[in-house]
Every structure is written in structure tokens, then in C-alpha cells.
Structure 1
């Protein structure tokens, strides 16, 4: 291929950055990539979806920074697809567009009481404590909410449980913004109850996350024996995955441990299916679960026996769900853009020329960072195979997209702007009375001002 290829990647989280990295490293390909994101900052859920007390996971940012330093990769932040640019706009400037927009909101849970005051989505809480600019600056902690339920047994559920159970001062050494620290001081939670619909062999925790749950001296982890059972399907699952066996080993240790008398507790309950959030005067006063039993396959069936739990708040952490992308088809049941492994498939079943997906918008919100890399490799492989069929854009020079954004009056941020903001946040951390690696800037306009200064 003789012409220089121009590719836009919409979404600058790990999925988008890995796609850009693979593209620019493809042998024999002359390509430049523009990463476009609605946030003023890169890194997506690594910045806004990972709990602040997980610095090891945030080490991934260092690897992503190395990718972004490639001069053939540019970053355009604070540019929202669908509002600021549309698919037909991008086609003017790029041979191909790869969507890596991920999944940003909570999956719905259709049970009675879900809309009561005190019933929250985990994603909203995560965005608040991670300082996302598009959520309210205050979290509605209630002084009476001492017992809290968390629905879901994935890593997000653990993060939410841990943040609720820790003290504000424990988290002050992290990068949390000042408004989050002040908010957490109002948190009255003493007991967090985590509910699993199935048994211990079916939880989605990773071993590291589970082990770290009791690293705080203020938290006891209590695994309740009811439902701590294994059927034939469970044993097969443990044989098939070493990580799942490690998770069960950690749970078994928690089950056998004696509580230390710590002021806060995280309780883990198995074989409890939430069926209703109980309310009084419009707010949460309890959770009703149906006791389930393993059916031999690792799945469960209801027993018809119910139990009420006196909790004053409920956080659902049952998974993320992707937003609809204007101009692209959407599978509402699966929460993804229809695709054949990378190509976007139109409503008539034919591939949409030059349009691809990778990451959670492609396969749903499952898998870890390693899955994201292999996923991007598959998508980029398809794009490379299609090169000869890709229509050349009308305005192929890189500067044309910059001029377009300028003509629209959009205050976009760049990689150089991110480096300014990054240095500013680190300086805030160094100047804090308790030295911290950084203190996040939250308001969007302030982030943009610093980045564009």
C-alpha cells in the first residue's frame, strides 16, 4: 500500500490505546492515529474506574503513557462523539474509524424498589470517588445508613465495599479530590453486606482484589457459611481455572478466621438472589432476597424461601452497559455494537465500510486488560486486511482535523495538555500537608484551562 493511512480511534482508554499501538507497530503500514475522547484526559476507566487505593493497577498508566509518546499517535480530549463530531464528520478525515468507547453506565436491575432514595448504581459511586467531571460533587450519604448492601460479586463490587468500609483518613493518602475526602467523612457505614446469587466457585473476584479486602486495620471480612457450598459444576470450575481456586482458598480463610473486633465489617453472603428493595416513606429500609441452591451445573434455582435484611442503602454492581453511538447500530440486549469480531455490522447484515469496534463496546463488559490487548489485535488484523477496500478521505492531511475542531470553536485538549495537567496534579499532591502522589482536579473547565494554558 503506497498511501499513508489515517485512522481515528474513538475512546482513549486501554482498548483504544492498545488499538493505536498495534496499528502503529504493524510492519509495512504507514499510519498515523488520532485518539479522540469525550473526557479531557486519556486512560478512560484506568483513571475513572479503578479505586484510588489500588496504585498497582494504576501502574498500567505508565505503559499507556509510553504508547502515547509515539509521535504517530495524537490525542484529542474533550471532544464528544455524537455531540461534537459525528460519523460522517470523521469520514472526511480518516480512512477508518475504530470505536473503543467501552461501557460507562450501570446495567439496569429490574426489581421492585430499585428507584427508592438510597438505591444507587455502583458506576455512579465509582465516578464520584474517582473525581469524574460529569457527576455531582457530593454523594448523598445519610447519617442513618449504617448497614449497606452491595449486589454483585465482581471486582467493582469489592471496590465499592472497600471504599464504603474504609475511613476517609485512610484514603487521604491517595489521589482522591478534596470534595471526595470531605464526603467520605460523612459516611456512617459500619457493615457492608455483599450478596452473591450463586456459590463461592462462581464469584468473579480476582485473587488479588479479594486478598486486599482486609488489609485495612479498620475492617473485618466475614464470610457467612450459609450457601458456602460446591456442586459438581463448581468442582469442574475450580479444576478448569487456577485463579478461581485461589479465590475460593482466600474465601475459605476468611470463613475460618475469627473477627478481630474492627469497627467496620464486610460480610459476604452466598446463594442469595435479590428480589426486592424494601422502602418506607420513599427511601430504602431493607433488602429481600430469595435463598437459592446449586443445581449441579454451577447454576442455581430458587427455593421459594425469602429473607429480609435491614439495610439503609443498596449499591448495584451487576455490570456496566455501553451507551448507544449515534449513527451506529446497537444491540440493546447485549449492550454492544453488532460486529463479526471487529467489523461493525449494519442493520442489513453487511459490514459498515471502514468502521470497527474493540473492547467492551465490541464484546461486552467482561475480561481483564489481557483480553483487551488480544481483542484489539483481532480488530486491527481485520482493518489491515481491508486496507485496499478503504475509501480515501477527502481531507487526508492530519492538520485538517485540527482545523475542523478549531472552526467549530471546540476547546479540545492534547497530549501536551495532558502532560501539563498531570504535572499540575502531582504538584498539588506534593504541596498537600499529607504528601500524596497527586490530587485530582475535578471540574471539566478547570482541567481544560490547565491543559490549554
Structure 2
């Protein structure tokens, strides 16, 4: 039997929260099953995995999506690095699939292609004024402060006191926390230098997070909420009226939702005492949750160019629990702001005309990762199941797809009898097209430079922001 050659087409972080498949996650899934594990015999003794990545650097979401003040989450890079050092796993950065290489070309060189390119596009509000200056997507804002090259010149407007974030997810809370964090805390992180400078000069003192439904339907988790409640120099603004009657049904909620709701109720209804009361009274900044509100129109200022506020419809809920639906009423409410960030989700796009794509759901149609009606094509992450879940969710999703590939090899559904050239064929095409791939050892050169630059600034790292500079460093 010839070697099983698989290509992972891994894209850089395109969204939030969250959470798309990472180059290392899916590669790790295949690697874990290359050797016997748990006595199940799930392995392929001659599998070879090549990872193609749009940017010269790996780790996608962990590098460009995880908040800079959450370094503990980034420790998964260590596991991904072990996979990348495996003698049958190779990384090729600075290669854009669909542009530098087509799916059809890759199919000629590999037995299996696994698409893990996530959700790059933002969901739009679809309301008047959303293109006004001062209105940004949370995805681009996160990319800006995390050093994503395509967002380095965003230069968001931070000169107003009030910012509004549309969305009650973890990404929204991440953005609010970064906007309100004491600058001395951010100086100790790997936040991009341009973002650190801008936030240090920011006039934002108040952040309101607006959601269409109620407290029982928020999408953020207790860890992120607790961080916001305890954020230095910031006090929470939660209205007791939003929690009327909820205390009576908390006991019947699933444990994670119960603990989250109890924490919100405590912040809204219990009067702080002692040191906590003093801390909140002395705080110069504040944040709050606005429930049962839907955006109707972004209100322009007198010049007609910049955002000055947002008009919201007042909603009511129909149904119970997490599945409750919001219904707009005739009541409206206007909120003033000079900065607006939309954090309402992401969507995938079709990577190539030859790959089936469900435009309505925004996913590649599949069965356990097997792309429907396309033998040899597989998918994982957000492009497989939609933009939901966290890193662990995506990791298990990668395992599932890896098992499908190996099951198809054993059943004969995936024919690996013919020899495939793999990267040797792609290398010739890339050279003809003037593309300079970056290997994992090239990434490690970039890593060394970033860490050294960070040490000079007293930070864990100072990321390179220019793709050409990355490529030059990698080639030295």
C-alpha cells in the first residue's frame, strides 16, 4: 500500500469567539491516530500530513483570536508544536488555497483533502447606517489588537466615552474587557504595540453590551463574566428589573446555566460591601448588559459620516429557556455612542467551485466530516458544523473527522492504492507562481524574533505584522 497523503487546508482565524479549526488541532487529530491508542487500533502507520496555511505563521485562532490577557489558553501551542515536529507532518505557510493552489490541483497530489478554513466572513446587521465610520465588526477589532496583518491599519475611533457592543457572547466580553482594562495590565501581554498605544490614549469609559434576548439566553460563559465583574477600575451596571422572576426558576436550570445566572443575579441585586463596595465606588469606568433589544438603525452624527448612536427595538420573549425566541414590539429606544462593535457571529464562504457548499447554513455539507458527493474531501471545524463551540469542541470535531478518514481507508471507500506526489508536486507549482512557502522551521525563526522583540518591551512577544517581513525573517 502506498503512503496515505493528506492535506489540511488550514486558514487563519477569521472570527471570534471561537472558534474555527486550527492547523494544529486537526493535524493533532490525525497524529493521535497514527499510533495505537487506547487499544482501539485507530492508526495508519504510513500516513503523511501536509498543512497549508494562508499566513506565514501557524496556530490560527490561538494566535489571532484568543484575548492577549488569556495566556493560559495559548499553552495549547505546545501540543500543536509537537505534532508539527512529527516526521510525517509538514507545515507550509504563506500559501492561499483557492488562489495559489486550486482544490483540483491538490486532489491530484493527495489521497485526502481536509478543509479546515473556518468562518472568515462577518454576519452583517442589515440595517441602515452600519457602514458609518466608528462602526466595526468585533472580528476585525480583535484582529487589530491581536496583530492580524489584514487588520493592522484598522485605527478604530476611541475618542468617545461610550461604546456599544452588539452581542452577548464571549467575544463581546473579550472586547469590552480589553477596552476597559488598566493599561498596566495590557502592557504585560502580547497585545499588538499599535493597539496598546491606542488603548492607552482611549477616552472610552463606558461599554454597554446589547442582546436581543434575556439573561437566560446569554452566550458568554461564567469565566468571562467573572473577569468582567472583577475587572479593576470598572464597575458592573446590571439592572435589577431585568432579573425579576428569574430567581424562582434558577434551581431548575442545568448546572452551567444555573451558576452563570446566579452570578448575574448577585451582581444585579446584591449590594456590595467592604472592599468591593469601595472598589466599585472608586472605579472610573463601567460596563453593563442591555437585554431584549434589537438594532434597528445606526444613527449618524451631524456630519452624516460618523456614528452617534443606535436605535433599538424593545423585544419580548416567546418560549422558555435557551430556545426562547425574541419578538420585536412597537417600542423603541435610542442609545448614544461614538464607537460601535458588532459581535453577532460569523459565516463561512465557499473556497472553490468544485467543493459543495450550503449557502443557507454556511457550511460544507458533510456526514461526520465526509463532504457529501465528493470522495476524498473532508472538513472539520466551523466550516463543517457552523460557527459555534470553543477550542475543545473543535478538537473533538477534528478527532471525529480523522476517524472518518481512517475508516474510509480501511473500508476501501478512500482509495490509497495509487502513489501520490504530495508536496513535491505542489512545490513545483508554487515555485512557478512565485510563491515562497514558509516551513515550520521558518516559523520558529519568526517566533524567535518576536520573543526577542517582546523581551525588549517587557512583553511575552511583539508580533510581526507585515507578511513580507515574516517571509524574509523565515528565509534567513
Please say whether Structure 1 and Structure 2 have the same fold, judged by a TM-score greater than 0.5: yes
Q: Unpaired runs of 5+ in structure 2?
A: 13-20, 34-41
1:383/1:394 CA distance change after superposition, 3 Å: same
Provide the alpha-carbon RMSD of the alignment.
Answer: 2.2
How is 1:279-318 mapped onto 2 (pairs within 5 angstroms)? 279-280=300-301, 281-298=304-321, 299=324, 300-318=326-344
Correspondence for 1:390: 414
Q: List aligned pairs for 1:227-242, cutoff 5 A.
A: 227-229=242-244, 235=249, 239=252, 241-242=254-255
Matched, 1:8 2:7: yes
What does 1:186-335 align with in structure 2 at a 5 Å threshold? 186-229=201-244, 235=249, 239=252, 241-255=254-268, 256=270, 257=272, 259-280=280-301, 281-298=304-321, 299=324, 300-327=326-353, 328-335=355-362
What is the alpha-carbon distance in structure 1 between the residues aligned to residue 406 and residue 367 of structure 2?
A: 15
2:199 to 178, 181, 184: 184
C-alpha offsets along residues 326-357 of structure 1, whole Å, 9 cap, x if unaligned? 23222222221122231222xxxxx2010011
* Mapped partners of 1:185, 1:138: distance in 2: 16
Kindly state the Cα deviation for residue 12 of structure 1 after the two structures are TM-superposed.
Answer: 6.1
Cα displacement (A) at 1:51: 1.2
Q: TM-score, normalised by structure 1?
A: 0.91
**SS state at 2:216 partner:** helix
8 Å contact from structure 1 (residues 98, 356) kept in 2: yes
Distance 1:42 1:240, change over 3 A: farther
Contact persistence 1:286–1:312 (CA under 8 A): yes
Distance in 1 between residues matched to 2:207 and 2:189, nearest whole Å: 22
How do 1:302-381 and structure 2 match up within 5 A? 302-327=328-353, 328-345=355-372, 351-381=373-403
Q: 1:270 to 1:37 in 2, by over 3 A?
A: same
Pick aligned residue for 2:441 from 408, 413, 416:
416
The C-alpha deviation readout for 1:118-166, integer Å capped at 9, x for no partner, is: 11111010110100111243413152x2111101011000011111222
Structure 1 residue 240: Cα displacement: 5.2
Q: Is the 8 A contact 2:182 2:232 kept in 1?
A: no
Q: 1:222 to 1:428 in 2, by over 3 A?
A: same
TM, length-normalised to structure 2: 0.87
- Counterpart CA distance in 2 for 1:210 and 1:412 is 41
Q: 1:142 to 1:314 in 2, by over 3 A?
A: same
| Matched residues, number | 442
Partner deviation per Cα, 1:352-371 (whole Å, 9 max, x = no partner):
01001100011111011222
* In 1: Cα distance, 2:190 partner to 2:55 partner: 18
2:103 aligned residue (87, 110, 115):
87
1:438 equivalenced with 2:457 (yes/no): no
Aligned to 2:37: none
What CA distance in whole angstroms lies between the structure 2 residues aligned with 1:235 and 1:439?
48
Q: Secondary structure at the match of 1:128?
A: helix
For 1:73 and 1:448, the matched residues in 2 are separated by 21
Equivalent runs, 1:53-92 vs 2, <5 Å? 53-92=69-108
